[in-house]
Amino acid sequence: MVMEHTDTSDEQSAAAFNAAMAQFIIPPGSNLAVAVSGGSDSMALVLLLLEWSNNVKVSIHTLTVDHCLRDSSSAESAQVSDWLAARNIAHTVLRWDDGAQKRKIASSPQHAARNARYDLMNHWCATNGFGHLLVAHHADDQVETFLMRLARGSGIEGLSAMSPMIQRGGIFLLRPLLNFTKAQLAEVCRARGQNWIDDPSNNSDSSTRVRFRKSQEILEREGFTRQRLLNTVGHLRRAKLALDQSVVDFFKVAGRFDGYGVARLSVQKLVNTPEEIGLRTISRILMAVSGAAYGPRFKNLQGLYDRIVSRPWRDATLHGCFVQREGDNLLVCRETAKIAASLQVAINKNVVWDGRFRVSLFSDISNGPKQSFSISRMSPSVWRIFRVENPQSSLENVPARIRETLPIISDSNRLVAVPHADYLCNDYKSIFRAQVEFIPEIGSSLPIMGMAAKISHPK
């Protein structure tokens, strides 16, 4: 239940935050990153987390994204740095260089900025060994999200609004403030003498979220109180979790992932399962295989499902995936044209490449190479050269459509490693080993884990 600001003391706020953190079961020694914009919500999150950590051995590092959407953004990021430094809290500013250009376009840049923030923070977490990212979404955000999705005609998936914990790009995204109101979080800051930054865009009627926020006074008079709406969200979330579990149980008997990031699903079993479970299973598979944080549009998902169960089949692409029939199985693999550009990784670091594979380089020696290595996909030109030098490669029998979605590792001059082929060039064999792990996530606290295969090259 959300605690009303007028009845809640500062001590109760701290106790409620401690209880919220307990649901996540964070092991001692964990590295926790915190998204801090400088607003009252995120500043309160940092302050409460700092007090909570007095009794828990964890490492805390705050992250601010300079989005460059306003002229004042850099100064605001610097102000946040000063506030956090005064409290001896580690802090890093991540700059979204595209923001200055995005602000010039006619349509709202907020959606692009949101995705960029998560991408920048997730990448920082992955490359610096931080497995958890805390964000300051609160009860008022939850209500606004519910109303916005209701207006769009969302089903249970959307109307259950924001979950306390999801996985995104291999990082656990935690929302411990979903039972706190914005007013209460402002009071947390006041009680601790902490100022904050007010973002003017939070009051602009050009934002759909702001318009829904301002409409709540009318809704309250008609009985749509915040607490009742949050109770509805809670009911829907319980239903969603039950459906999620049914999807996991169904996938265990009807499908599987392999180490190449490919999913296979029995069409016959899909036809015989309830349509709602079948639709959700296909959506989760598309998310896992594409590495996307969200599922496809329902209209497109329904069209694919109908084609699978009742119409003449033809191969299809959807949500960054290629879908084909293989006997009784539906085979889903990554669409090569949708794979992003290369990514950098250093020795004894790991990154999540293309949202699908966690790529790690391990070394037991202290004087290993200091440069970063590039991760990209196995292109046809690289494969032609590789197969000449490695004619017995295990990838020889892998279809090109799948092989070309797999990661390779290069230095500035040449191919260094193909983990799926158990290949590491001779010059590096005594220095490090490479490991690739497919991480099939579904943007939920209940991921499908049919197979999370690790492919390593032993030293």
Is 242 within the bounds of a domain? Answer: no
Other Cβ atoms closer than 10 A to 71:
9
Contact criterion met (CB below 8 Å) for 64 and 81: yes
- Write the CA distances from 77 to 65, 70, 82, 421, integer angstroms: 8, 11, 9, 45
Say how many domains are in the chain.
3
The per-residue pLDDT for range 27-62, each reduced to its tens digit, is: 889 999 999 999 999 999 999 999 999 989 999 999
Structure tokens, 396: 């020889």
* 354 and 328 co-located in one domain: no
Query: What radius of gyration, in Å, describes the C-alpha atoms of the chain?
Result: 24
Distance CA 100, CA 307 (A): 43
CB 261 within 8 A of CB 290: no
Out of 230, 249, 266, pick the residue that ends a domain: 230
Query: What does the CA dihedral 146, 147, 149, 154 come to, rounded to 10 degrees?
Result: 90
Q: Do the domain assignments include residue 384?
A: yes
Which pair of structure tokens corresponds to residue 68? 């460059």
Residue 210 in contact with residue 203, Cβ under 8 Å?
yes
Please tell me whether residues 287 and 351 are part of one structural domain: no
CATH number at residue 20: 3.40.50.620
Element (H, E) at 34: strand 31-35
How many beta carbons lie within 10 A of that of residue 19, not counting itself? 11
**Residue 253 lies inside a defined structural domain of this protein:** no
Give the whole-angstrom CA distance, residue 168 versus residue 119.
9
pLDDT higher than threshold 70 for residue 430: yes
Residue 27 has a CB neighbour count (10 Å cut-off) of 9
Give residue 259's identity as a one-letter amino acid code. G
Listed residue (154, 424, 201) closest to 297, CA to CA:
154
Please report, for residues 76, 244, 273, the alpha-carbon distance to residue 265 in angstroms, rounded to integers and kept in the order given.
Answer: 50, 17, 12
Residues 98 and 215 in one domain: yes
What is the tens place of the pLDDT at every residue in 183-197?
Answer: 999 999 999 999 999
Closest C-alpha among 285, 295, 373 to residue 334: 285
If 0-12 CB within 10 Å is exposed, 13-18 middle and 19+ buried, where does residue 441 land? buried
Task: Tell me which residue range forms the domain holding 144.
Answer: 5-230
Q: Is 407 helix (H, G, I), strand (E, B) or coil?
A: strand
In contact, 174 and 24? CB cutoff 8 Å: yes
**What contacts 138, CB < 8 A, 6 or more positions away?**
41, 177, 178, 180, 181, 182, 185
- Looking at the fold, whether 203 and 316 belong to one and the same domain comes out as no
Among 314, 337, 360, the domain boundary falls at 337
pLDDT for position 192: 94
Per-residue confidence (pLDDT) for residue 61, from 0 to 100:
98
Tokens of 322: 């290629």
- 57 and 155 in a common domain: yes
The pLDDT value recorded for residue 100 is: 59
The amino acid sitting at 273 is: T
* Domain annotation covers residue 244: no
Question: Average of pLDDT values for 209-216?
Answer: 71
Domain membership flag for residue 292: yes
Could you tell me if 190 and 147 lie in one domain?
yes
Same domain, yes or no: 221 and 308: no
| Region 158-167 average pLDDT | 87
- Spatial distance between the Cα atoms of 357 and 169, rounded to a whole number of angstroms: 9
The larger pLDDT score, comparing residue 311 to residue 96, is at 96
Instruction: State residue 146 phi and psi, 5-degree precision.
Output: -60, -50
Looking at the structure, tell me whether residues 424 and 279 fall in a common domain: no
pLDDT category, 363, cuts 50, 70, 90? confident
At 446 the pLDDT is 40
Mean pLDDT of 245-264: 94
Asked if 401 and 222 touch (Cβ cutoff 8 Å), the reply is no
Q: 452 falls in which pLDDT band (50, 70, 90)?
A: very low
Distance of CA 187 to the CA centre of its chain: 30
332, 265 contact by CB (below 8 A) = yes
432 and 302 share one domain: no
By mean pLDDT, which of 51-60, 123-132, 160-169, 443-452 is the weakest? Answer: 443-452
The whole-number pLDDT of residue 184 equals 94
Judgement on whether residues 307 and 352 belong to the same structural domain of the protein: no
Q: Is residue 220 part of a domain?
A: yes
pTM of the model: 0.82
Residue 110 · residue 117 · CB < 8 Å: no
Q: 180 and 322 share a domain?
A: no
Q: Which of the listed residues 193, 215, 230 is the one where a domain comes to its end? A: 230
Q: Is residue 51 part of a domain?
A: yes
Confirm whether 245 is domain-assigned. Answer: no
* One-character DSSP codes across 304-352: HHHHHHHS----EEETTEEEEEETTEEEEEE-GGG----EEE-TT-EEE
3-state secondary structure 247-266: HHHHHHHHEEECCCCCEEEE
Q: Are residues 330 and 356 in the same domain?
A: no
